[in-house]
Amino acid sequence: MSDLETFRAETRAWLEAHCPESQRQPILKREQIWGGRNRVFPSADAQAWFEAMADRGWTAPSWPKEYGGGGLSIEEAKVLQQEMARLKCRPPLYEIGIWMFGPALLAYGNEAQKQEHIPKIVKGEIRWAQGYSEPGAGSDLASLKTKAEDMGDHFLVNGTKIWTTNAHKADWIFCLVRTDPSAPKQQGISFLLIDMASEGVSVSPIELISGESEFCQTFFDNVKVPKENLVGELNKGWDVAKELLKHERTLMSSMESMSEKEDFSLLELAQQYLSLNSEGTIEDGEIRSRIAQLLMEMEAFEQLNERMFYQYKAKQVDQRLGMLLKHIGTKQLQRKDELILEVLGNKALSWTAPTANQQEHIVTRNWAFNKSHTIAGGTSEIQLNIIAKRALGMAS
Amino acid sequence: MSDLETFRAETRAWLEAHCPESQRQPILKREQIWGGRNRVFPSADAQAWFEAMADRGWTAPSWPKEYGGGGLSIEEAKVLQQEMARLKCRPPLYEIGIWMFGPALLAYGNEAQKQEHIPKIVKGEIRWAQGYSEPGAGSDLASLKTKAEDMGDHFLVNGTKIWTTNAHKADWIFCLVRTDPSAPKQQGISFLLIDMASEGVSVSPIELISGESEFCQTFFDNVKVPKENLVGELNKGWDVAKELLKHERTLMSSMESMSEKEDFSLLELAQQYLSLNSEGTIEDGEIRSRIAQLLMEMEAFEQLNERMFYQYKAKQVDQRLGMLLKHIGTKQLQRKDELILEVLGNKALSWTAPTANQQEHIVTRNWAFNKSHTIAGGTSEIQLNIIAKRALGMAS
Amino acid sequence: MIFNEEQSMLKDTARAFIEENAPVDNLRKLRAAPEGPAYDLELWQQLVELGIPAVALPEEYGGLGFGFMGLAAVLGETGRNLVATPLVSSVALAASLIKLVGTEEQKSRWLPALASGELTATVAVQEGRHYNPKSIETKWANGALSGSKTMVMDAQEAGLVLVIAKNASGALCVLALNSLEDVEQERYMLMDGRKFSDLHFRDLAGVEELGEGEQVASVEQALDIATIALAAEMIGGAESLLERTVYHLNEREQFDVKLATFQALQHRCAEMYCQLELARSAVLSAFTRLDQGRNIAKAASQAKALANECYQHISNEAVQMHGGMGITDELDIGLYLKRSRVCNQLFGDANFHRKRYALQIGI
Amino acid sequence: MIFNEEQSMLKDTARAFIEENAPVDNLRKLRAAPEGPAYDLELWQQLVELGIPAVALPEEYGGLGFGFMGLAAVLGETGRNLVATPLVSSVALAASLIKLVGTEEQKSRWLPALASGELTATVAVQEGRHYNPKSIETKWANGALSGSKTMVMDAQEAGLVLVIAKNASGALCVLALNSLEDVEQERYMLMDGRKFSDLHFRDLAGVEELGEGEQVASVEQALDIATIALAAEMIGGAESLLERTVYHLNEREQFDVKLATFQALQHRCAEMYCQLELARSAVLSAFTRLDQGRNIAKAASQAKALANECYQHISNEAVQMHGGMGITDELDIGLYLKRSRVCNQLFGDANFHRKRYALQIGI
C-alpha cells in the first residue's frame, strides 16, 4: 500500500470514529460553525466534531503544523476532502480566516503576527471580516479613500468600508487603508489588522434584495491601531491584497459546492416538481433539455477543476485555467437558480411564506442572494477582462 | 370609398390584369431581373411583367413622376406592396440603383445627373455597383485610400475597392474617393460616378465560403472621370454616403423577406423534415420550442416594422427604432439558417450534392452566404455601438 | 400599433399623475404591511376619478370607449413605477370576463359599477404550481362548487370574485361570488411585495353562474386579455429598468471613466433595447388586434412569452450593471427583479406560451 | 484528465509533423478533386510510420498500449489543421468495434493489420437524416443483408466495411464486408470538402458476421468511442479558430486602434475560451474514464453535446470577427465553419445528446 493509501485508510477510520452521525447530514445555514470569541455551538455533537477536527489542525488541513495547522501535503488534503465527502461529513468550520486571510498572513505576516493570529483561526476563536471595498468605488478597489495617518506610535484610521461580510459578528477586520495620499492609486496602500472592539469602530448592516443582511458598512472614526498590526511593508499592501484575492476567487468558484447542501439539487427538484412520464423522464421536452444542458456544463466545470488538480499534481499547471473559475462557477450557479425558479413555478415566489415549505423558501432567498456572486469578489466583467488580457493575451 | 380604397381596388385590378400567372410563383435566384445594358429576360412573361411595371414607374413606386418614377404617396406605395404580396407578384426588378443609389441621387444629385441616371434606373437599363469599402479597412470606411486627383477637366482615379457586389456585371459604379488627402478622415472624401467601361477599370470576383462570387474587387488604374460625375459638393461626399447608408440599412433588414421566396420557410421545413406526432405537432419538445421562440421573435420584427410604418404615417417617428433594424433582422436571419440546418440534419451538408435535392442545396448555400449579412453594410458591432450611443445616449 | 391622440393624452396624464403621486416607495409601504391592503386604496380612488377603469369599456356600460389600447397606455405607466392597482385583475380580466360571458342582465348589473369604480372584481384561475387553464379541476356540479385556487390577485379588496371551473360535462364555466365569507382563504405576500390569496371551496352552494352553458372560447379570450394587460405592465417595468441602468452607467465613474463608455456594457444595453422594442411591438400588436375585434390567442402567447424573457433578462442585467448597490434593498432595482419573476408565473411562463404559440401556428 | 509523459510526447510529435506536412491547404487539394481519395494517402502512410494507428490498441494485437488518451492527443492535432485521416472511422471506431464484438479469431485476423496500417476499415451506422442508432432498419436475416446506410466515412479507401444492422430478433449485430463490389454505392463530397458514401444492400449474401449473438452494449460502446474521438478532433478545431481569431484581432487596426482592444470583442473571446475549456475538460474526462475501463455512455453524450455547441459557436464568432475576409474562401476560417457543421451531425447533434444525457441521469 502506498503512503497515500495508508493515509486514506487511517483517515477514513478516524473520521468514522470521530464524526458523529448527526454531523453527516446536510448542513443548514443556521448550523454552520463560524469562528468567534462568542461562538455558540448548535449541539454537543457539533462541538465534539469541531473540536476533534480543530485538535488535529484539520480545520486548516494544509497549513503548517507549527501554527496549529494540519501540515498535510496537497495530495493528503485532497484525500481528506474525498473521504469527508464520502462520509458526508459537515465542514467543521466556516471562516473567512481559513479561506482567505490565513493563507495571505502565512505568506506576508511576520513571525509575531503568525504566532498571534493563525492558531486562533485554526481553533475558530476569532472571526475575521474583510475591509476592502468602499462606497462608490465598485470594481475600482484601488480608488479607496479610508486613510491611516502615522501618529508615531500608532495609526489613526478614518473612513468607511462597505460589503464587510458579517462585520457585525466579527472580532477582527483586515483592511486596506491609504497610508500615502500623494502616491499613485495602487501605491500608498497598506494592509492593516484592526480589532473590532477598538473605540471608534461602528457597524451598520445593509439589507439585501434577499432580505438578509450579511453585508455591512463599517465606519472608522479616529480609530487608533497599533503599528505592529501592519502586515507586510508600509505602502505595499496591494501585494498582500493580491495574494488574498487569489484565494477569494478560488473560494467564490467553490461557493456552489459549499452552498449545495443547503439549496438542494436541480435534478432532484426537477423530479419532485415537474410532471414525469411513465418511464420517469420529464414530460416537457424543452425544460428537460435545458436542465440536461446546464447539468452537463456543471459537470464540465467539476471536470475542469479535476483537470486543474491533476495538472497541479503533475506540476504542469496551466495558469490560464484558474482565471476562468470564478466567472464560470458563478454564472452557472445563477443559471441554476433561474431554472429552479422555473421548475418550482409559483411555489418559488414566496416571501413571508405561509404557503411555501422550508425548501421552497430557501430556494427563493438563495436565488436573490446569489445575484451577488457575479458582483462580489471581482465582477464578472472584471473576470472577463482578465481572461481576455491575461489568458488570451489580447491587447489592451 | 376613400381615395386609398379606390387606389387599392384599381391597383388590384391592374395587377390581376398585368401580372402573368408565371410571375406569381416564388422566384428563383436565376430568374431575378436585374438592371443592365446587357440584361436578358428569362422568359417572355417575365419581360412583359417587367415592362408593364416599368412603364408605370412602379419599379420605383414612390419616386417622382418627372424622372420616370411612380409618384405614389407612402400610403399608396404600401398599398401597392400589400396587393403585390396578396397576389404573390414577383418583384419586377432587383437593382441596387433602386434600393440605395437612386434615393441618394434624388437627394444630392444636380438636375442634369437626375435626368441622366434616374430614368435609366427605373427602366432597368443600367446596373449599378457600390464602391465604398477598401481592402484592410473593415468597418473603418472613412480610412479609404482610393484617390481622385483634380486634373483640370477630369479626375484621375487610382485605387482598389472591395466588396463591390456584382461589379463584374455592373455598368456603372458609385464610389467614395479621397479628393483632399490632407484633410481629416471623413472630410476630403467625394462621391463620384464611374462608368465601368472606362479605360483602366478591372474587376476580379472574390470566392465566398458559400462558393458564390457575388462580391468583387474592383481596380482603378489611372481612370479618367469627367468632372460632371461628381455628386454633391467636392469633399462633401460623406454626406451623400450617409444618406445612402440609411437606405442600405433599411434594405439589409428586409433582406429576409426578399430572399424568403428563395429559401423556404422554417415552419414548412420543420413540418417536412421533423417527426410529427398524431396531432401534427413536432414530436421533439426541445426543437419545437426553439422554432416557436424564433418565429415569435421574427413576427415581432415584422410588428416592429409595422409600428414604424404607422409612426411614419402619423408623423410621430421614433428615430431610435430605425437604428435597430439591421442588427435584429440579420441576427434573426442567421439564427433561422442555423435552425434550418439542424432541422435538415445531414441533408443540409451537401456541397456537390448528388444526394441533396435543390431545396436542400439552396438552404445550405444560403446559410453560408448569409454569414455576410452581419458584416456587410455596417457590422453588427458597429450597429450596437450606434444603438448604445445614439438611441440610448450612452457616453462615448 | 401606435397610440392615437386620445390614448397618447391618457398616457401623458397617467405618467404625470404617477410620477407625482405614486413613486416606487408606495410599494415599499404596502410591503411593510403584510396584513394591509393589496394596493393603495386612496391612490386607486384617484385613478378612478381620472376615469381609468372606464377606459376600455364600451359606452353603453358607462365606459369611455377608448379601446384596450388606452388601457395598455396606462398599464405601461403603472409598470414603470411598480404601482399596485387592480387594473389587471379587475379592469382587464374580470370586466372582460363579464362582458364576454355574462348575460345581458349580469352585464348591466356589474359593468357600470366596474366602470365607475364602485366595484372591483377579481378572477380565480390558477391551480397548482404552473398556470394552465386547460387542466382546471375546480368542479361546478349539482349546484355546488369544490376545489382550490391559488395566486388570486386582490381577492380581499374585491366585491365580486369570479371563479373559473369545469361543469359536470367537463366544459369551462364561470361562477360569481359576491362574498368570500364561506370560503376558506389564505392570504400571503409574494416576493414582489404584493398580496395574493389561495381560495378553497368545499361544496359551496348558492353560487350564481356567469352566463349560460359552455364558455371555453370566451373564458380563453378574457384570459388572453389579462395576459396582454400584464405584458403591457411588464414592458413598462423593463423600460424603466433600462433607463435607470443607462442613467447609472452615464453617472458612475470607475477607473476614471464613465461606466457607460465600456463597450461591453454598451453592447449589452443595445441588445436589451432591441429585445425591449421587439417585445413592445408584439404587445402593441396584440392590443391592436384586440381593438380590431380579431382573435388574439396567438398574439397573447407571443406577447407574454417575449415580455417574460425581456423583463427577466433586463432585470438580471440591471442588477449586475448596478454592481454592489444593485443587490441592496435600498435601490429599487431589486423590486423590479422580484416583480418580474412573479409576472412570469401569472398567466403562464415563457415555456407555456411557447408551446401554446407552437400549437397556434400548427407545429 | 491530463496527458502523461508518453502521451504528451506523442502530441508534440504529431503537432510538429502536422505543422510541417499537413497545412490546411492539403484539405483544399482534396476538395478540388471530388473523385479523388477521401484523405491524403501518402500523408496517412507517414502517420502509419509514426505508429499512430497502433497507439490505443493493446500490445497483444500489435498495438502500443498508450491508451485512448494518446489517440485523443493526436486527434486534437489533426483537428487543429483540419487534417483528413481515417483516425475516427478506422482507428477509433472500426478497431474498437472489432475488439469489443469480434471473436478471438477475428480479432487476431484484423487488429494487427489495423495496428500496422496495412488495413483500414470503416463502419456504416447512420440511416436517415439524423443520427440515431436506436432506429436502425438495416436487416440481417436468413443470411442476407438489406437496407441503406448514409454518411459512411472513408468507405472507398477501406479494406473492410463493418455494417451495423438488426438481426431477425431485432437486436443489434455487426456484419463484415471485405469488399463493396456487390454493394450499390453513391459517393459525394459534403460542405467540409470530405467524401462520404451512401451504401445500399439488397439481399446481400455471403457476408461474415462479426462476433456472435446480440451486441447491443458493445456496439453502443464502440460508437461512444468514435463519438468522443470526433469530439477530440472538434476541440482541436475550435482551439485553432480561437487562436486565429485572437491573432487577427491583435494584428488588425481599425479607427487607429487594435481590434483586440475593443472590450465587447474581449468579452466575447473570453466567453469562447471558457466554453472551450469546459468542453475540453468533458472530452478529456471521457477519455480518462475510457482508459480506466469505466462506462462512457453519459460521458460521451456530455462531451459531444458540449463540443458541438462549442465548435459551432466559436466558428460563427470567428467568421464574424474576421469581418469581410471571414466570409471569403481565401481564408481558412470558412473551412472550419463548414467542418463544424458536418461534425455536428456525425454521431449525433447536440439535441440528440442532450436527450441521451438526460436519460442517463434519470430525467
Beta pairing class for A172-178 and A128-131: parallel
ipTM, two decimals: 0.92
Placement of cell 395566486 in the chain? C151
Residue B246 domain-assigned (yes or no): no
* Judgement on whether residues A79 and A147 belong to the same structural domain of the protein: no
The whole-angstrom separation of Cα C88 and Cα C120 is: 11
| Interchain CB distance below 8 Å, B207 and D327 | no
Is B270 within 8 Å of chain C by CB? yes
* Judgement on whether residues B231 and B195 belong to the same structural domain of the protein: yes
Residue A256: per-residue pLDDT = 39
Grade residue A355 by pLDDT with cuts at 50, 70 and 90: low
Give the residue from D5, D12, D254, D273 with the most A CB atoms within 10 Å of its CB, the best one to mutate: D273
Please give the residue of chain D at the shortest CA–CA distance from B211. D329
Q: What is the pLDDT of residues B1-45, one digit of tens each?
A: 688 999 999 999 999 999 999 999 887 777 888 888 888 888 999
* C-alpha distance from D314 to closest chain A C-alpha (Å): 14
Helix, strand, or coil (residue D187): strand
Q: What is the pLDDT of residues A144-198, one digit of tens each?
A: 999 999 999 999 999 999 988 888 899 999 999 999 989 887 889 999 999 999 9
Is D294 within 8 Å of chain A by CB? no
* Judgement on whether residues A261 and A368 belong to the same structural domain of the protein: yes
- What is the Cα D69 distance to its own chain's centre? 14
Q: What is the pLDDT of residues B127-153, one digit of tens each?
A: 999 898 898 877 788 889 999 999 999
Among B313, B87, B129, smallest CA distance to B217 is for: B129
Residue B256: per-residue pLDDT = 39
Residue A71 domain-assigned (yes or no): yes
Q: Residues of D113-143 as b/e, b for ≥16 C-beta within 10 angstroms?
A: bbbebebbbbbbbbbebbbebeebebbbeee
CB C283 within 8 A of CB C235: yes
Which chains contact D through at least 3 pairs of Cβ atoms less than 8 Å apart? Answer: A, B, C
Residue B105 domain-assigned (yes or no): no
What stretches of chain C show up as alpha helix (H) in DSSP?
5-21, 25-31, 41-49, 68-80, 95-101, 104-116, 216-251, 263-291, 297-321, 333-345, 350-360
Grade residue A253 by pLDDT with cuts at 50, 70 and 90: very low
Q: What is the pLDDT of residues B326-366, one digit of tens each?
A: 999 999 999 999 999 999 999 999 887 656 687 888 889 89
Q: What is the pLDDT of residues C95-122, one digit of tens each?
A: 999 999 999 999 999 999 999 999 999 9
Q: What is the pLDDT of residues A195-225, one digit of tens each?
A: 999 999 999 999 999 988 888 999 999 999 9
| Interchain CB distance below 8 Å, D193 and B208 | no
User: What SS3 string covers C66-108?
Assistant: CCHHHHHHHHHHHHHCCCCCCHHHHHHHHHHHHHHHCCHHHHH
* Judgement on whether residues B214 and B312 belong to the same structural domain of the protein: no
Residue C347: list chain A partners with CB under 8 A: none
B235: cell is: 469633399
CA distances from C19 to B269, C45, C48, C330 (A): 50, 16, 17, 19
Residue A292: per-residue pLDDT = 98
The whole-angstrom separation of Cα D166 and Cα D175 is: 10
Residue B376: per-residue pLDDT = 85
* Judgement on whether residues A228 and A275 belong to the same structural domain of the protein: no
Residue B249: per-residue pLDDT = 54
Residue D192: list chain B partners with CB under 8 A: 349
What domains can be seen in chain C, in order of their start residue? 5-116 (1.10.540.10), 121-210 (2.40.110.10), 216-360 (1.20.140.10)
Residue D267: list chain C partners with CB under 8 A: 264
Q: Is the pLDDT of residue A353 over 90?
A: no
Which pTM was predicted? 0.91
* C-alpha distance from B287 to closest chain A C-alpha (Å): 8
Q: What is the pLDDT of residues C300-359, one digit of tens each?
A: 999 999 999 999 999 999 999 999 999 999 999 999 999 999 999 999 999 999 999 999
D342 vs B352 pLDDT, higher one: D342
CB A216 within 8 A of CB A209: no
Q: Which residues 324-343 in chain B show a CB within 8 A of chain C? A: 324, 327-328
Size of the A and B interface in Cβ pairs below 8 Å: 15
Q: Which residues 150-169 in chain C show a CB within 8 A of chain A? A: 150-151
C202: cell is: 368545499
* C-alpha distance from C126 to closest chain A C-alpha (Å): 10
* Judgement on whether residues B265 and B186 belong to the same structural domain of the protein: no
Return the CATH number at B349. 1.20.140.10
The whole-angstrom separation of Cα D78 and Cα D234 is: 9
Q: Concatenate the DSSP letters of all residues of D38-67 into one string.
A: SS-HHHHHHHHHTTGGGTTS-GGGT-----
Please give the residue of chain C at the shortest CA–CA distance from B381. C267
Q: Is the pLDDT of residue B251 over 80?
A: no
| Interchain CB distance below 8 Å, B354 and D193 | no
Residue A285: list chain B partners with CB under 8 A: 284-286, 288-289
Q: What is the pLDDT of residues A296-340, one digit of tens each?
A: 999 999 999 999 999 988 999 999 999 999 999 999 999 999 999
* C-alpha distance from B370 to closest chain D C-alpha (Å): 9
* Judgement on whether residues B12 and B87 belong to the same structural domain of the protein: yes
* C-alpha distance from B318 to closest chain C C-alpha (Å): 11
* Judgement on whether residues B259 and B383 belong to the same structural domain of the protein: yes
Residue A297: list chain D partners with CB under 8 A: 278, 306
Residue B106 domain-assigned (yes or no): no
* Judgement on whether residues A260 and A384 belong to the same structural domain of the protein: yes
Residue B290 domain-assigned (yes or no): yes
The pLDDT mean for chain D works out to 96
CB B240 within 8 A of CB B233: no
Question: Could you tell me what percent of chain D has a pLDDT over 90?
Answer: 95
* Judgement on whether residues A86 and A128 belong to the same structural domain of the protein: no
Q: Is the pLDDT of residue B252 over 50?
A: no
| Interchain CB distance below 8 Å, B286 and A284 | no
Question: Which of A201, A236, A271 marks a domain boundary?
Answer: A236
Question: Which of B236, B268, B295 marks a domain boundary?
Answer: B236
Average pLDDT over residues A249-273: 65
* Judgement on whether residues B275 and B165 belong to the same structural domain of the protein: no
Residue B329 domain-assigned (yes or no): yes
Average pLDDT over residues B234-245: 88
Q: How many domains does chain B have?
A: 3
* Judgement on whether residues B147 and B231 belong to the same structural domain of the protein: yes
Beta-carbon contacts of C297 under 8 Å, excluding residues fewer than 6 positions away, are C220, C221, C224, C356, C360
Please give the residue of chain C at the shortest CA–CA distance from D270. C264
| Interchain CB distance below 8 Å, C260 and B281 | no
Residue B244 domain-assigned (yes or no): no
Q: What is the pLDDT of residues D20-74, one digit of tens each?
A: 999 999 999 999 999 999 999 999 999 999 999 999 999 999 999 889 999 999 9
* C-alpha distance from A252 to closest chain D C-alpha (Å): 16
The whole-angstrom separation of Cα A290 and Cα D354 is: 8
Give the residue from A161, A371, A385 with the most C CB atoms within 10 Å of its CB, the best one to mutate: A371
Give me the tens of pLDDT residue by residue for chain C, a chain 363 residues long: 999 999 999 999 999 999 999 999 999 999 999 999 999 999 999 999 999 999 999 999 999 988 999 999 999 999 999 999 999 999 999 999 999 999 999 999 999 999 999 999 999 999 999 999 999 999 999 999 999 999 999 999 999 999 999 999 999 999 999 999 999 999 999 999 999 999 999 999 999 999 987 788 999 999 999 999 999 999 999 999 999 999 999 999 988 899 999 999 999 999 999 999 999 999 999 999 999 999 999 999 999 999 999 999 999 999 999 999 999 999 999 999 999 999 999 999 999 999 999 999 999
Residue B138: per-residue pLDDT = 75
Q: Which residues 227-266 in chain D show a CB within 8 A of chain C? A: 262-264, 266
Question: Which of A93, A125, A155 marks a domain boundary?
Answer: A93
The whole-angstrom separation of Cα C143 and Cα C145 is: 7
Give the residue from C31, C129, C196 with the most A CB atoms within 10 Å of its CB, the best one to mutate: C129
Q: Which domain holds residue A145?
A: 111-236
| Interchain CB distance below 8 Å, C358 and B306 | no
Among partner residues B295, B311, B388, which is closest to C269 by beta-carbon distance? B388
Return the CATH number at A222. 2.40.110.10
